Structure 1
Amino acid sequence: MEVVIAGAGAMGLLIGSYLAESGISVSFLTRREGQAIALRDHGVTRVQNDLESTFRVHAFSDLLLAPKNALWILAVKSKDLSDLVKQLEKSKSLGHLMFIQNGLRHYDLGRSTSIPSVSVASLTHGAGKIDDRTVSHNGVGMMSIAELKGSQRYSSQLSKANSPSFPILYQQDALQMLLKKALINCCINPLTTILELKNGDLLTNGPAHQLMEVIYDELATGYPEVLKTLPFSEVEVVCRKTADNRSSMLTDRYNGVPMEIDTIISAIVEGYEETMPTLKAFETLLKAIDEREDDA
């Protein structure tokens, strides 16, 4: 089985390391040829509990070099998705497309693309990129997968990589799965980014933990059915399992790149501004931080 991971950031490298470890043939599509060379020459290295493991992978920066009939995992930022999907739609040899982005904006894109076989995945692992070919696994979570359209025969083959350190779960309702992850993100990402805290600090910092509860209660007014299966204690579990991890939004802020405010927060708060005043205020504050740092 051939898997191409478009995007070699923290989560792309983490997924690739576990797939390659299981014996799946993994290729990375990178922005820079220098990163592709590093991955080709030295492999992808995963650091976990002070242990390093390295796995051979392929890598390229030219889309024309992609293997045929592969399963593509899109691990790029949400803002880059539309252009990449348009390029992939022109390729008649694409086997399957899998989105792994945070938030909800990619749901409609996945349903509307002309590519016939599409799935989405939600990940709660903690990961940090150390260099172009090295990733730190900072907390064991779950990779949940649900089909949007087409056959499950492609995505089901990823189960080969299922392990205690990288559990994989297949779900039936893609939208509910994405909503659940988005609500967890809304509880964690805004606070960690504004206060510049690691995920675990939300459990030990009293005022921050109180604010996380406030956000959760606000989310319950708009998404009561989803939160029936997502108690606040489960949000705390995610913080605990990824205690040493920086949220993706905080990482973006530190890296000086636009934060994914629209797909993570705005998509959730739309239509519920009056019943989610705290989350709405955080959305506005994050946009101000983004704009200020863009001007810096």
Structure 2
Amino acid sequence: MRIGIIGGGAVGLLLAAYSYKAGYSVTILTRTIKQAEDINMKGITLFKEEEMVHYPIQAYLFSDSSSGNYDLIFIAVKQSILPFVVSEILKNNQSPPPLVFLQNGMSHLSLLEQTIIDDILVGVLDHGALRISGTEVIHTGKGTLRIGQVKGTKDFQMIWNTLSANGFTSEKIRDWLFVMKKKLVVNALINPLTAIYKVKNGELIEQDSLLTEMKELYTEVIDVLQFTESKGLWEYVLEVCQKTSQNKSSMLQDIENNKQTEIDAILGYLLEQGRGLPVKTSKIETLYQTIKKLERNEEKM
């Protein structure tokens, strides 16, 4: 089984390491030639608890590569460049391989529905990952990769079983849309607030003012997503904050590193969904605009 992974961020490196450990032929397709060269020279180093393991994984520059030589491709890039990635795959392949999309947010679902590819899957990732260099990644927290089938009928259960047997718990789910909505609630509450106030996840529940603001945002988010049954959802968000209390959200890391965030895929998606609905979105709008200003360096916090 030949697996391609587009994206050399934390998720891409983590998935590549465990896929190689599971016995698959793995190739990472990177954005920069430097990262590809570094991976080819050093491989990928996975840190987990007290363990450190090196995996000799191949890498190529995505823009120079064809995706036709793989049985399955995981796409672990940000929402903003998904249209380019998908267009390149379609341009270079008459019969593209099955694709698994691993993005935060839900704005990419409309793109996937319009894409002419036989097998499309989405993944909701709860595993914690921290990239410390272009070739090194820490598995910061064991979770589950939940896979939903958006299009197609091909069975990839063997892959999920093998990944799970090698320490990267993965499972196919039927209610993937509900799971994506649940993950979106978590991302919508934690990411923007931690990025704006420059705090770790746990501080959202330790500071009363931040907890109150998160609760106000929660009310708007679940109204937009039209959760008919939200019992236990707020408690789940608090649990995530507690379990990841020492983590910096990906959005906070992006702001600190002067990178574009995924705010459009998260709060931007919610604003789009809220248009035309009899719901309040003022808090969502305020946080969205604040993050956009931070991205443009127009506002110093």
Whether the TM-score (by the shorter chain) exceeds 0.5 is: yes
Q: Where does residue 71 of structure 2 map in the other structure? A: 70
Per-residue deviation at 1:65? 5.5
The offset of 1:226, in angstroms, is 6.2
8 A contact 2:7–2:29 mirrored in 1: yes
1:124 to partner: Cα distance: 2.2
Q: Using the TM superposition, give the Cα deviation of residue 293 of structure 1 relative to its aligned residue in structure 2, in angstroms.
A: 5.6
Query: Which of 203, 214, 222 in structure 1 is aligned with 2:216?
Result: 214
CA distance, structure 1, for counterparts of residue 11 and residue 294 of structure 2: 24
Q: Is the 8 A contact 1:176 1:226 kept in 2?
A: no
Between the aligned residues of both structures, percent identity stands at 30
CA-CA distance at 1:218 after TM superposition? 2.3
Alignment of 1:171-210 (within 5 A): 171-210=173-212
State the Cα distance separating 1:156 from its structure 2 match: 5.2
Point out the more displaced range, 278-287 or 2-11: 278-287
How far off its partner does 1:193 sit?
0.5
Written as runs of structure 1 = structure 2, the 5 A alignment for 1:141-290 is 141-154=143-156, 157-163=159-165, 165-225=167-227, 228=230, 231-272=233-274, 275-290=280-295
Which amino acid letter does the alignment assign opposite residue 238 of structure 2? E
Q: Which amino acid aligns with 2:290?
A: L
Q: What whole-Å deviation, never above 9, does each CA across 1:227-278 have from its counterpart, x for those lacking one?
A: 5265212112222332332212112111211111111111113353752322
SS in 2 for 1:47: strand
Stretches of structure 1 lacking an aligned partner (at least 5 in a row):
none
Q: Number of matched residues?
A: 295
Q: Counterpart of 1:26?
A: 26
The code of the aligned residue for 1:72 comes to I
Q: CA deviation at 1:166?
A: 2.7
Of 226-235 and 170-179, more deviation after overlay is shown by 226-235
Q: SS in structure 1 opposite 2:192?
A: helix
Output the CA distance in 2 between the equivalents of 1:54 and 1:197.
Answer: 33
- Measure the CA separation in 1 of the matches of 2:231 and 2:220: 16
Distance 1:172 1:216, change over 3 A: same
Question: What are structure 2's unaligned runs of at least 5 residues?
Answer: none
User: Root-mean-square deviation (CA), in Å?
Assistant: 2.4
What is the aligned partner in structure 2 of residue 45 from structure 1? 45
Quickly say closer, same or farther: Cα 1:229–1:9, change in 2 above 3 A: farther
Alignment of structure 1 residues 74-85 onto 2, 5 Å: 74-85=75-86
Q: TM-score, normalised by structure 1?
A: 0.90
CA contact (8 A) 2:217 2:284 kept: yes
Letter aligned with residue 106 of structure 1: H
**Deviation of 1:20 (Å):** 1.5
Q: Secondary structure at the match of 2:149?
A: strand
